[in-house]
Structure 1
Amino acid sequence: MVSGMQALWMALLGGLLIIHFLKQLWSTRSYLPGPLRLPVIGSIWRVAIDLSLDVFIKMAKQYGNIYILWMGNTPLVVLSGFEAVKEGLINHSEDFVDRAVGDFLKALSQEKGIVFSNGHTWKQQRKFGLTTMRKLGLGKKGMELQIEEEAHQLVETFVHAKGHPLDPALPLTNSVSNVICAVAFGHRFSVEDKEFLKLMEAISYMATFGGSFFHGMYMLFPRLMEHLPGPHKKVLAYAEMMRSFAKEEIKKHKEKHAVHDPQDFIDFYLLHMEKTMKDPHSTYNEENLVQCILDLFAAGTETSGTALQWALLLMANHPDIQEKVQKELDDVLGSSQSFSYQDRKRLPYTNAVIHEILRAHYVLFVGLPRKCVNDVNIFGFCIPKGAHVIPDLRSVLLDPKQWEKPQDFHPNHFLDQDGSFVKREAFLPFGAGARVCLGQQLAKIELFIFFASLLRTFTFKLPEGVKELSTKPILGGSLHPHPYKLCAVPRCTASLII
């Protein structure tokens, strides 16, 4: 039985908690609108009770296109819709230049490399990345030849299925990843290679972990989660395995002594390390090189591979659109075996379909978060220095003010009345501003060459008895389609192309 003194202390403690809660609410009264902020967890409960694909868009309808969520004591400002995202990422690009890196991402990336670093380190690593991509032939025929080789290998894989139902996910992911291998390591891996398969498994698992319950728990209670078992431990173990994989490749490059005749990203980086060895401000070291390699793999493999999975699913679901693409490819390219990324200018409908795939099925749940480096005023709202900013890029790609049929798969979004391709300002699947995706040009070339190669060679059909493939994604950091099978039926022109 509780004594009178104990009851008094409990009542006093409860009163102090209520006062603290009310004081907290009062101190943030001038902040942006958003869900009620509760003690300890903040207002992230609003996402947890409605963890759906449209949860952020729903909140924008309730609170406006700039609203705030609290992850514990950390403010998360969400920019929703094209105008808000444009104002933040483009018009205030330098104010949102930093990456928001929570405790889990710190443990994962050690704040090195390109994607999750900030300040001087980020500036040097990103500049090197952009320069090296150009040297490796990005946008030139050299890089395209490597992508064309992977596209040919992919076509061969589909040929072996002989028109029977197959799951395209693994072949597509392997092919995209081997493009990154060629960029980073200067060589490709066999799809049977055990180390390569482990790498693919790690990337896939890490992508599904993003946005999960355990990810949220780690963000709220990092010190506690460090000591508890769970999938977060497996993600960290996978990251360490990938680091070891990268270090082994770096070791092999050093042993070949090819630094002064660089052929790939590692060669160029090791050469730059040598040149800047005496610079006290240099951040070029093996730790950053390892993380740069991981960044290339994680960003390049997951996004492009997922986009191609959506591409084939949508072609099987929309045979009329698939037929129009194939007719354009046949009319323009004929029986020629070779074509280039430049040919997209002569293929407006095919180009529009690829853009619409990226718009209608954006591969991430939201854009990667930024961090506000100054107090910023946007549309009359003050976003405080230090706030984490989430650009909801999916809301931009589905903004009803920007797209005629935002919820539909509608390639005409990118065509004018004459059938010519039209660029759209609100097409931002690669982000915008200072942190725009480093590999967007590589991704565009990959998607075009892989997609055109497959559509020239096969007609993708639903398996017998299947009326339609589901277009609802699996929720996670990236948005994969549910596992599916389709039939890659060789076309009558395939023998001229293969």
Structure 2
Amino acid sequence: MNSSDSFTILLAVTISCLFFLIYSSKKKLCGLPPGPTPLPFIGNMLQVDMKELIKSLRELSKTYGPIYTFHLGSRPCVVLSGYQVLKEALIDKAEEFSGRGDFPAVQMWSKGNGIVYGTGECWRQLRRFAITTFKNFGMGKRSIEDRIKEEAQFLMEEFRKTQGKPFDPTFFLSCAGSNIISTLIFGSRFEYTDKKFLMLMDLINSNWKLMSSTWGQLLFTFPEIMKYIPGPHRQIYKNYLKLAEFVGERLEINRQTLDPNNARDFVDCFLIKIQKEKNNPNSYFNEDTMSKTTVNLFFAGTETVSSTLKYGLRILLRHPEVEEQLHKEIDQVIGVNRSPCMEDRQKMPYMDAVIHEIQRFADIVPMGVPHTVTRDIEFHGYSLPKDLNIIPLLCTSQFDPTQFKNPNSFDPNHFLDGNGRFKKNDAFMAFSAGKRVCLGEGLAIMELFIFLSTILQNFKLKPLMDPKEIDITPESTGLGSIPRPYQLCLLSR
């Protein structure tokens, strides 16, 4: 047999193997919604732009409809888009779609443990425990409102130190948001000059950007390959280890000073719960779960609010007419002699509408975190097997043209009726929906209202360029929509 014959046979065998793999894959996926034809190993990744994965998935929905199958490497996922389908899945069939899907960037560290990336009975018990504990410590009540108002004044002090000169607000906003969740979790706040605290803010900001970068998307798609390939994505795991190390130090401080009859914060309550269930071999409350849950809450409570505020200030720089109207409403309802409070919210429909529109337009978490199906189900005529990964494109509800008049434009009128009163919109899914809706939604709304109202009560925003030239599209979009870096000046009012 000559070399030409050997090559022909090898080529034939290779092609046959590829066809077999494709046939096996199709047979295995029988019953799933149609979608682009995947290739072995790489799935549909040649059909999307890895720098704009969310945008690519939205474009594919125009071809394949609001429900289609997409392969992240070798993993089949069903993509859901548009308000109606997302509502039917996440709300009408909330239990069936409540599983937590693959998110390798975090799960390499969390191992599926913790309140955000856990699933099943463990997740249910942790969520119930966290909601109850936070309520007991004032979440949604006047006690935590007073704490937010106090933190807002600390933030104003830092802003005044800029003396009207250009600065980047990122770390100030991160510190303010982080101090609120820190109060609930650890029972105390940090000074804005605390070096360890600033290092933590840097770790959280860094991971948020890395998970939303092209490297982060590649890790999301090819986790088994990317964990061996050098690149900035490998820093995500290292950063989580550093966050966990800090949390471990705080946990030890609480452990050494714990009074079982006088819980001071979330960590104390968790330690007491561990002690109560120490003889239960099936308990989900243990040291590892406490560490993972605390990091989850600290990260989420810091980044989402601060990113929304950062994006919001940039949007207002682009729309000075909106800022001007907000100043008028603040002057009329609050004045200058007292701090904003949540009672003011009912009298400030424009501020409420602007905050909701900032959240909708900024679209900080465009696809939420992947879900899974908790049992075999029929959905829209398709057979979805248990543990199938689901990608809910929350952004397609936030930008659904059937629900919002000008979805691609920043327009507070999306949340105002004809009489200028605030109106809700069920397509607003900034906090996700259903069983996995953000447990800190009430806290986040309170922070956004008090922080933004206080900033605009005290300062006028000054851009460093013509407002019309300010780009309010995100710098990158992955796990999160990352606002473009910018500086601004704050002029005292």
The question of a shared fold, defined as TM-score above 0.5 by the shorter chain, is answered with yes
Cα distance between partner residues in 2 of 1:129 and 1:188: 19
**1:480 matched to 2:478:** no
> In the TM superposition, what are the counterparts of 1:25-424 in structure 2 within 5 Å?
26-27=26-27, 28=29, 30-48=31-49, 51=52, 54-424=55-425
Cα distance between partner residues in 2 of 1:18 and 1:294: 43
Gaps of 5+ in 2: none
Which secondary structure does the structure 2 equivalent of 1:68 belong to?
A: strand
Q: 1:72 to 1:223 in 2, by over 3 A?
A: closer
Q: 1:383 to 1:255 in 2, by over 3 A?
A: same
Does the 8 A contact of 1:85 with 1:393 survive in 2?
yes
Which secondary structure does the structure 2 equivalent of 1:382 belong to?
A: strand
Does the 8 A contact of 2:360 with 2:430 survive in 1?
yes
Which secondary structure does the structure 2 equivalent of 1:95 belong to?
A: coil
Does the 8 A contact of 2:352 with 2:422 survive in 1?
yes
Q: 1:361 to 1:374 in 2, by over 3 A?
A: same
Which secondary structure does the structure 1 equivalent of 2:460 belong to?
A: strand
Paired amino acid for 2:13: L
Q: 1:49 to 1:179 in 2, by over 3 A?
A: closer
Which secondary structure does the structure 2 equivalent of 1:115 belong to?
A: coil
Cα distance between partner residues in 2 of 1:163 and 1:211: 32
Q: TM-score, normalised by structure 1?
A: 0.94
Give 1:496's aligned residue: none
Cα distance between partner residues in 2 of 1:285 and 1:71: 33
Cα distance between partner residues in 2 of 1:276 and 1:15: 58
Does the 8 A contact of 2:311 with 2:483 survive in 1?
yes
Cα distance between partner residues in 1 of 2:12 and 2:301: 55
Which secondary structure does the structure 2 equivalent of 1:165 belong to?
A: coil
Summarize deviations over 1:288-338 as a string: whole Å, max 9, x none: 111111111221111111100111112221111111111111111123413
Which secondary structure does the structure 2 equivalent of 1:473 belong to?
A: coil
Give 1:446's aligned residue: 447
Give 1:14's aligned residue: 14
Cα distance between partner residues in 1 of 2:480 and 2:220: 18
Shift of 1:130: 0.4
Does the 8 A contact of 1:260 with 1:271 survive in 2?
no
Shift of 1:339: 3.2
Q: 1:309 to 1:271 in 2, by over 3 A?
A: same
Shift of 1:33: 2.0
When the two structures are aligned, how many residues end up with a matched partner?
491
Shift of 1:97: 1.3
Give 1:490's aligned residue: 492
Q: 1:381 to 1:268 in 2, by over 3 A?
A: same
Which secondary structure does the structure 2 equivalent of 1:377 belong to?
A: strand
The farther-off stretch of 77-86 and 157-166 is 157-166
Shift of 1:419: 1.1
Which consecutive segments of 4 or more residues in structure 1 shift more than 3 A? Answer: 102-105, 211-228, 464-468
Q: 1:413 to 1:226 in 2, by over 3 A?
A: closer
The farther-off stretch of 256-265 and 196-205 is 256-265
Q: 1:156 to 1:220 in 2, by over 3 A?
A: closer
Paired amino acid for 1:122: W
Q: CA RMSD in A?
A: 2.0
Cα distance between partner residues in 2 of 1:168 and 1:425: 32
Q: 1:431 to 1:459 in 2, by over 3 A?
A: same
Cα distance between partner residues in 2 of 1:460 and 1:293: 35
Cα distance between partner residues in 2 of 1:250 and 1:26: 49
Shift of 1:8: 4.3
Paired amino acid for 2:294: I
Gaps of 5+ in 1: 492-498
Shift of 1:29: 5.5
Summarize deviations over 1:239-262 as a string: whole Å, max 9, x none: 111111111101111122334211
Summarize deviations over 1:136-172 as a string: whole Å, max 9, x none: 1011111112211211111111111122222111111
Does the 8 A contact of 1:462 with 1:468 survive in 2?
no
Summarize deviations over 1:72-96 as a string: whole Å, max 9, x none: 3321111101001001100111111
Cα distance between partner residues in 2 of 1:136 and 1:424: 30
Does the 8 A contact of 1:114 with 1:292 survive in 2?
yes
Does the 8 A contact of 1:183 with 1:265 survive in 2?
yes
Does the 8 A contact of 1:186 with 1:264 survive in 2?
yes
Shift of 1:434: 0.7
Cα distance between partner residues in 1 of 2:268 and 2:136: 12
Cα distance between partner residues in 1 of 2:218 and 2:349: 46
Cα distance between partner residues in 2 of 1:380 and 1:12: 38
Does the 8 A contact of 2:212 with 2:481 survive in 1?
no
Paired amino acid for 1:244: E
Cα distance between partner residues in 2 of 1:196 and 1:218: 28
